[in-house]
Amino acid sequence: MTEPAFDSARFRQVLGHFPTGVSVVAGYDADGAPVGLAIGSFFSISLDPPLVGFCAGKQSSTWPKLREAGRFCVNVLGEDQEAVSRVFASKDPDKFASVPWDRSPLGQPRIAGALAWIDCTLDVVHPAGDHDIAVAAVHELAVTAEHGPLVFFRGGYANLS
């Protein structure tokens, strides 16, 4: 019996009904320039030791730079940061030019106005289809705002209210 062709559009449509928070993973490239990418797949893994993870597309031009650096700050975006998410989801070569930021305790790019930030070092990467699953050790973290998160749902941005 022959398997039917897989319908990737239906896959996206169905899984789009699962809301995800939006984060920006930010670090530095080999030349010391800040780089970052928007992700909708950030998750906690372990309390002991403290580990987090995210999935990055293998076709991304930014992910290899962050992977090589091995250090980054995960910035959890707030409901008012849709424009920030759009910048980091773009192919703009200087994504930090229009986004206010400073440095985290580990010296990584920390985006102003983010709800929370998590300073990490890359622990291990697992290949998974057209993505990599990155597991990172947490070194420092903080909550910086208490309003709602930026959420992606059914192909667009949404809020929880």
**What CATH number did the domain enclosing 41 receive?**
2.30.110.10
For the stretch 20-46, pLDDT in tens is: 999 999 999 999 999 999 999 999 999
Confirm whether 123 is domain-assigned.
yes
Confirm whether 3 is domain-assigned.
no
CA–CA–CA angle 69, 31, 64 (5° rounding): 40
Which residues does residue 51 pair with via DSSP β-bridges, in sequence order? 46, 137
Confirm whether 13 is domain-assigned.
no
DSSP state of 147: S
Choose among 68, 46, 73: nearest CA to 140.
73
Torsion from C-alpha of 121, 32, 107, 34, nearest 10 degrees: -90
Number of domains in the chain: 1
Confirm whether 45 is domain-assigned.
yes
For the stretch 127-141, pLDDT in tens is: 999 999 999 999 999
Q: Which residues contact 145 (CB under 8 A, 6 or more apart)?
A: 78, 113, 114, 115, 116
Confirm whether 52 is domain-assigned.
yes
Q: Is it the case that residue 159 has pLDDT exceeding 90? A: no
161: helix, strand or coil:
coil
Choose among 147, 142, 34, 150: nearest CA to 94.
34
Confirm whether 53 is domain-assigned.
yes
* Domain range enclosing 40: 21-153
Confirm whether 16 is domain-assigned.
no
H-helix segments, the chain: 8-15, 63-69, 82-88
Query: 52 pLDDT band (50/70/90 cuts)?
Result: very high
Host H or E run for residue 73: strand 71-76
Q: What is the pTM of this model?
A: 0.93
For the stretch 69-125, pLDDT in tens is: 999 999 999 999 999 999 999 999 899 999 999 999 999 999 999 999 999 999 999
DSSP state of 78: B
